[in-house]
A and B are shown apart, each in its own frame.
Chain A
Amino acid sequence: MRTATRYWLGTAAILAFAVVFIVPFLFILITAMKTQQEAGLLEFTWPTQIVLLDNLREALAARDFILIIAFINSTILTVSSVAIMVIMAAMVGFVLQRRPSRWSGYVNFLVLAGLIIPPAVVPTIWVLQGLGLFRTMPGLILVEVAYGLSFSILLFRAFIATVPRELDEAAIIDGAGPLRLFFRVIFPLLRPVAVTVVVVQSVVVFNDFTHPLYFLPGEQNATVQLTLYNFQSQYETQYNLLFTNILLITIPPLVMYLFFNRQIVAGMTAGAIKG
């Protein structure tokens, strides 16, 4: 490509991308900096008076610090479900890849089914109630694990195929049992793909709205996505606080993205190409 075209096209692309993809985020940011009256106008203008800190304080303090409670809830939910998911999926992926048997076909089928089938919500509530887990954090964590397993297994299985079998054999000759083989030898080698799974699933679970809505209802159980949704009706004219809230819950994925840019993209594509 000629240099002139490169620059011309590049500049046009930057402009177009800025308008389409950056302006909405900018709108969130500047609205979060405005006073209530100014934010209420919903205009795309620079704030005359920047009150971001006041807005932050007010949004966090609203309704007995529900947002902070929600951040704690979301953190517990994300960390626990992703941790469980990673270990279990790695174990399944490992055996599934290493020991093909008459089971493998069924397991593979179930894994794919988990990707395609929409979860049956009310029967899940019925199961959760039967187990005494409805409206509890452990219940929601297990549900998230169940829904996230398929995708994680696919990633692990694909990656384990690239780990040489000689390593297993060496460890077996050294007298390692299955548990030691897996946790001491194989699992440490899975670090790259584990990071991908952790990052991708964290984003998914953290941003999940539907399942907390169904399985963890109730004011004090709110996760961050639910607070946002509840705040929408409450901040009818307090757009500054609503958008401060949006800004706050956009920060964790942004930080993730800055740190793990490459893994996220690799993981999303890998999982996508499998699906």
Chain B
Amino acid sequence: MRNQTSPRGRLRMIALAAGAVLALAGCSAGSLGSSGGGGGGVNLTWVLDSNASTMKAAESVAAAFKAQNPDITVDLESRPSGSEGDNIVKTRLATGDMPDLFLYNSGSLFQAIGPVQNLVPVTDEPWVGTLEENFKRVVTADGNVFGAPFGSQMTGAILYNKRIYAELGLQIPKTWSEFMANNAAVKAAGRVPVIQTYGDTYTSQLFVLGDFHNVAASEPDFAERYTAGQAKFATSPAALKGWQHLEELHDLGYYNEDFPTAKMEEGMRKLGDGEGVHYPMLTNGITTLAVASPEGAKDIGIFPIPGDDPAKNGLTVWSPSAVYIPKTTEGAQLDAAKKLQAFIASPAGCAAYAQGVRPNGPFAVDGCELPDDVLPAVRDFQSFVDASAFSPALEFLSPIKGPALEQITVEVGSGIRPAADGAALYDEDVRKQALQLGLPGWD
């Protein structure tokens, strides 16, 4: 998540393309009521990253909140995303210059902004009880909860074409060998078994990042030992699997011919058309799918990247960002900010969010329902979450993510570098990041 080329960062950038004009519209919409400042009204300023869909969703939430609380006005203020945004958030917190509320990542990036010193804890708020467990964990520091989830969860999984599956009489695979058998059948039917799109390099990371549920299933302490510098991708058999899968599929010629240059949007089109049948991607890509292949999108579902044990089949899940209140917010502002935070973490808040942007995954709040018009892939996602068959992604359990992962996975997926080499190289990259963070246990 740390740099701009990470999956989320990149997806944000792409999402920008979809509804470009909205960023400024968001700002002005937020300031509509600010002229009537008298009469004891409160003006809240909420900082969030400047991407169009975030803005659109926040605008919708702010409007719904205003309808319930006519005396509170919410102004939206945008900040850059990516590592640049990280620095801005840190600087503003450090200088006491942070407005009333702000949106920021959960997980290790959240830990890095000094939550205990800088943020208002919300542990005792009634809505905290309704939070999804995983999410609650990634906004908790020193036993206190600090944030309300804004937006939907995301998973890295295999998007597949249900229509072709039905045509070929295939079943959803629960193990890697079943998956490979399906691939062979798809190939025999003259279609592309697995879509890869290295024109957008970040999409190459999925077999490694999305496999983490399986790693955690067979080595439950992997994240901890990885952070301590003890577990390595190259030497842990479970963690090496993702790399081997990437290599195996390439060597069998299962990728689309134009995988070195194809972009994510083309991948989604191929998937929707049934030209390709599997596409390992993040569910954020569903937005692109709906645009690239509006009809085909209705045939697309998801299943987890299969591992070895069918009993432990499950998804790797990324938690949404959260809204936090800095300690510098006080008095009437604080009360109003807490009200807004509670609203965001309520079913009404989720509904307002969904009115602004169609969610690509389940919300992290109990009682929040997905709207009826979500695509089948999102429903599939929800069903795995309902069945509790999922784990958080590694980047929520460890602060270390090597910055060169996407280049290395491109090399392995293109047959330039063997899987074991790639994993070892990535371990070096991870070491570099760990040294930079000054973590204990790394020389």
Contacts and interface: CB of A to CB of B under 8 A. Distances in A.
Contact of B16 (A217, A218, A234): A234
B317 interface: no
A64 interface: yes
B151 to A, nearest CB: 20
Interface string A41-68: 0000000000000000000011110000
B228 interface: no
A219 interface: yes
Contact of A64 (B10, B13, B21): B21
Contacts of A218: 80, 84
Nearest to B52: A63
Interface string B121-132: 000000000000
A218 B20 CA distance: 16
B84 A63 contact: no
A248 B20 CA distance: 20
A232 to B, nearest CB: 10
B21 A63 contact: yes
B16 A236 contact: no
Given A217-B84, A218-B84, A236 B21 contact: no
B19 to A, nearest CB: 10
B23 A233 contact: no
Contact of A237 (B16, B20, B265): B265
B138 to A, nearest CB: 27
Give the contact-size bracket for chain A.
10 to 19
B14 interface: yes
A11 B264 CA distance: 45
Contacts of B292: 237
B24 interface: yes
Contacts of B266: 236-237
B263 interface: yes
A62 B80 CA distance: 18
A219 B14 contact: no
Contacts of A62: 20
B168 interface: no
A61 B24 CA distance: 13
A259 interface: no
A64 B24 contact: yes
B263 to A, nearest CB: 5
Contact of B14 (A61, A63, A217, A233): A233
A217 B20 CA distance: 19
A219 B80 contact: yes
Interface string B236-268: 000000000000000000000000000111100
A235 interface: yes
Nearest to B25: A64
Interface string B255-290: 000000001111000000000000000000000000
Contacts of A217: 80, 84
Contacts of B14: 233-234, 236
A219 B20 CA distance: 12
Contacts of A237: 265-266, 292
A75 B20 CA distance: 24
A233 B13 contact: yes
B250 to A, nearest CB: 23
B50 interface: yes
A234 B17 contact: yes
Given A64-B20, A64-B21, A236 B263 contact: yes
A64 B23 contact: yes
B201 to A, nearest CB: 11
A227 B16 CA distance: 13
A237 B206 CA distance: 23
Given A217-B80, A218-B84, A236 B24 contact: no
Interface string A190-218: 00000000000000000000000000011
Given A64-B20, A64-B21, A234 B80 contact: no
Contacts of A63: 16, 20-21, 23
A235 B80 contact: no
Nearest to A233: B13
A63 B14 CA distance: 12
A234 B50 CA distance: 15
A217 B85 CA distance: 11
Interface string B278-309: 00000000000000100000000000000000
A219 B50 contact: yes
Contacts of A236: 14, 17, 263-266
Nearest to B22: A64
A273 B269 CA distance: 53
A235 B14 CA distance: 9
Nearest to B85: A218
Contacts of A235: 17
Contacts of B80: 217-219
A234 B24 CA distance: 18
B282 to A, nearest CB: 16
A136 B104 CA distance: 25
Contacts of B10: 233
Nearest to A63: B20
A218 B87 CA distance: 13
Nearest to A230: B13
A237 B17 CA distance: 11
Contacts of A61: 21
A31 to B, nearest CB: 17
A180 B410 CA distance: 64
A268 B415 CA distance: 44
A12 B21 CA distance: 50
17 contacts: A62-B20, A63-B21, A218-B84, A219-B23, A219-B50, A219-B80, A233-B10, A233-B13, A233-B14, A233-B17, A233-B200, A234-B16, A235-B17, A236-B14, A236-B265, A237-B265, A237-B292
Interface of A: 61-64, 217-219, 230, 233-237
Interface of B: 10, 13-14, 16-17, 20-21, 23-24, 50, 80, 84, 200, 263-266, 292
Given A234-B16, A234-B17, 6 more contacts: A61-B21, A63-B21, A218-B84, A230-B13, A236-B265, A237-B292
